[in-house]
């Protein structure tokens, strides 16, 4: 569940719709947090315009998730 510990960052992770098989298309977002201060642990696809993002806890205080730092690529116009 969402309370599970998220240990690492996503790294150039392409989020595809459930059951999708095939080539990556424009609009299939690619998330990356594999850099210093990145903290995105998991991404779930909901719809073309909606994603659930799971932020890793702060290194010095695991009770807090008060900031986020990640990149998104492969967007299409109007997305």
For residue 77, which phi and psi values (nearest 5 degrees)? -55, 140
Q: Convert the pLDDT of each residue in 6-30 to its tens digit.
A: 667 899 999 999 999 999 999 999 9
- 68 pLDDT band, cuts 50/70/90, is confident
pTM score: 0.79
Tell me which DSSP letter residue 59 carries.
S
pLDDT of amino acid 7: 66
Q: Convert the pLDDT of each residue in 26-61 to its tens digit.
A: 999 999 998 877 888 899 999 988 999 998 887 777
CA distance 17 to 74: 15
Cα 44 vs. chain centroid, distance in angstroms? 7
């Amino acid at each position: 569940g969402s309370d599970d510990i998220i240990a690492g960052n996503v790294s150039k992770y392409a989020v595809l719709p459930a059951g999708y098989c095939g080539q990556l298309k424009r609009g299939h977002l690619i998330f990356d947090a594999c850099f210093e201060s990145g903290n995105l642990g998991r991404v779930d696809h909901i719809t073309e315009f909606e994603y659930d993002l799971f932020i890793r806890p702060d290194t010095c205080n695991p009770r807090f998730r008060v900031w986020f730092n990640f990149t998104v690529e492969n967007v299409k116009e109007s997305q």
